[in-house]
Amino acid sequence: MSVTASFIGEAQKFCMALIVQKYGGTSVGNTDRIKNVAARVAKYHAQGDKIVVVVSAMSGVTDGLIKLAKDIAPLPSEREMDMLLATGEQQTIALTAIALHTIGIPAVSMTGAQAGIVTDGVHTKAKIHNITPQQVHTALDAGNVVIVAGFQGETAAGQITTLGRGGSDLTAIALAAALKADLCQIYTDVDGVYTTDPRIVPNAKKLSEISYDEMLELASLGAKVMQSRSVEFAKKFGVVFEVRSSLNDNPGTIVKEETKSMEGVVVRGVALDKNQAKVTLVGVPDKPGVAAKIFKALGDATVNVDMIIQNISHGTGTPATDISFTADKPDLLKAQKVIEGLKKEVGYREVITAEKIGKLSIVGVGMKSHTGVAGKLFETLANEGVNIDMISTSEIKISVVIDLAKGEQAVKAVHAAFIG
């Protein structure tokens, strides 16, 4: 029996299992798709299961709302962005509830706040503090399917917040933990986690299972299929979950604790992050405390910095150096503003930004016990004529920053070299 089948079999042994299902943007992308979701939920409901459905905004809606705001102001207030973006998911919870009513299933929709999701006050990337899903329990006990708006919460002071792009995954995993769900299913537009994005490499292989750590690295390195913070949360609270398709009944990918057999594979997956930007401060005085000033200010402004590279010093007198870092593209304007504010205090010469970069990464727990992986990666890229701009490594991953225009070509070559 496959892992997936046995996992689902386990869950079905519970009578009245509590199941959390999350449907992403494409899965609720139009009214037919929403009816399709309702039909799938109805099947589980007919078995007597208690079901909590988490939905995203219809595909394109969140991007459309962001565009509207940016047409008015390049750097809109983050509180108002949360107020705006939270409306996307509120449309789909109501539409999904209506679709369920139409086929005779009692259902009630809830905002993140009504579902008891309490967050900190960091607008646009809030962290969940706690969940008190009292209203969810009450509605489930009354026989309802409960439909919760993904991606949103509320501070203790009643401010609406959002959980970062892709945050409906986090809503689902966190609710599964809080409700002690028997099963957590993430329904999306691919039928599982693949060795790389199947849209870039059509012969990418579907994984029947993957460890939390590998999924976490792949997700934070650009594999959009899961939001990285949701995987971090799942690992912390031991939430085993399945990524599967809302468009067919194929078994998906189980994400769970690492097992011994997983170490046999050197490279589990390849990811490409197109959402990073690079900032270089040229001619920074090379003396103690300068880097601290720069990165403390960026941190205070909640800019998520990823790779950092400092060049060797040059010049006479007080030596100067160049410092480059990467950050999420949507944070670039904010980062530039912070850096400009430091010009006098730090005394750098100029700032250069680059948006046309891609970060390619290979990930695998097997890298801990295999040598020669970096050499093979660099050789593969060299053979493709791809120049490496920045490098960073951890025990289970190697990342390189390259020219965005060569990103997909590089992913294809690296996938062929390591996975086939």
Tell me which residues touch ligand ADP (CB under 6 A).
24-27, 56, 166, 188-190, 193-194, 196-199, 218, 223-225, 269
Residue 92, helix vs strand vs coil: helix
Q: Which is nearer to ligand ADP, 148 or 279 (CB)?
A: 148
Size of residue set near Mg ion by CB under 5 A: 2
The least CB distance from residue 168 to ligand ASP, in Å, is: 3
Does the protein bind Mg ion through residue 116 (CB under 5 A)? no
**CA gap 251, 245 in Å, rounded:** 8
**CA gap 251, 239 in Å, rounded:** 18
Does the protein bind ligand ASP through residue 25 (CB under 6 A)? yes
Q: Please, what sign has the CA dihedral across residues 126, 131, 134, 138?
A: positive
How many other C-beta atoms are found inside a 10 Å radius of the C-beta of residue 391?
14
Q: DSSP secondary-structure letter at 206?
A: B
Beta bridge partners of 278: 326, 354
Which of Mg ion, ligand ADP, ligand ASP, none binds 170 (CB below 5-8 Å, type-dependent)?
none
Site for ligand ASP in 346-405 (CB under 6 A): none
The least CB distance from residue 264 to Mg ion, in Å, is: 30
**CA gap 93, 121 in Å, rounded:** 24
Site for ligand ASP in 50-109 (CB under 6 A): 56-57, 62, 88
Which of ligand ASP, Mg ion, ligand ADP, none binds 197 (CB below 5-8 Å, type-dependent)?
ligand ADP
Q: DSSP secondary-structure letter at 184?
A: E
Length of the chain: 420
Which of ligand ADP, ligand ASP, Mg ion, none binds 269 (CB below 5-8 Å, type-dependent)?
ligand ADP
Each residue 158-197 as x (binds ligand ASP by CB under 6 A) or -, in order, gives: -------xxxx-----------------------------
Which of ligand ADP, Mg ion, ligand ASP, none binds 223 (CB below 5-8 Å, type-dependent)?
ligand ADP
Q: Which is nearer to ligand ADP, 26 or 324 (CB)?
A: 26
**CA gap 38, 145 in Å, rounded:** 10
Which of Mg ion, ligand ASP, ligand ADP, none binds 284 (CB below 5-8 Å, type-dependent)?
none
Please give the backbone phi and psi of residue 128, each rounded to the nearest 5 degrees, phi first.
-75, 130
The least CB distance from residue 100 to ligand ADP, in Å, is: 20
Each residue 40-59 as x (binds ligand ASP by CB under 6 A) or -, in order, gives: ----------------xx--
The least CB distance from residue 374 to ligand ADP, in Å, is: 21
Q: Which is nearer to ligand ADP, 164 or 324 (CB)?
A: 164
Q: Give buried/exposed letters for 313-348 (b at 16+ CB in 10 A, else e).
A: eeeeeeebbbbbbbbbeebbebbbebbeebeeebeb
Spatial contact of 195 and 185, defined as CB atoms under 8 Å apart:
no
Candidates 354, 398, 355, 357; CA nearest to 380 is 398
Site for Mg ion in 11-30 (CB under 5 A): 24
Q: Which is nearer to ligand ADP, 26 or 326 (CB)?
A: 26
Residue recorded with tokens 């009245």: 16
The least CB distance from residue 81 to ligand ASP, in Å, is: 12
Q: Lay out the sheet containing 276-285: strands in order across.
A: 305-310, 320-328, 276-285, 350-354
Q: Which is nearer to Mg ion, 24 or 269 (CB)?
A: 24
Dihedral, CA of residue 129, residue 134, residue 137 and residue 139, to nearest 10: -120
Residue of 29, 166, 251, 358 that binds Mg ion (CB under 5 A): 166
Q: DSSP secondary-structure letter at 365?
A: G
Q: Which is nearer to ligand ADP, 223 or 284 (CB)?
A: 223
The least CB distance from residue 79 to ligand ASP, in Å, is: 17
Q: Which is nearer to Mg ion, 56 or 326 (CB)?
A: 56
Does the protein bind ligand ASP through residue 112 (CB under 6 A)? no
**CA gap 45, 84 in Å, rounded:** 33
Which of ligand ADP, ligand ASP, Mg ion, none binds 201 (CB below 5-8 Å, type-dependent)?
none
Q: Give buried/exposed letters for 254-285 (b at 16+ CB in 10 A, else e).
A: bbbebeeebbebbbbbbbbbebbbbbbbeebb
Residue recorded with tokens 């799942």: 234
- Where does this chain bind ligand ASP (CB under 6 A)? 24-25, 56-57, 62, 88, 150-151, 165-168
- Binding residues for Mg ion, per CB under 5 A? 24, 166
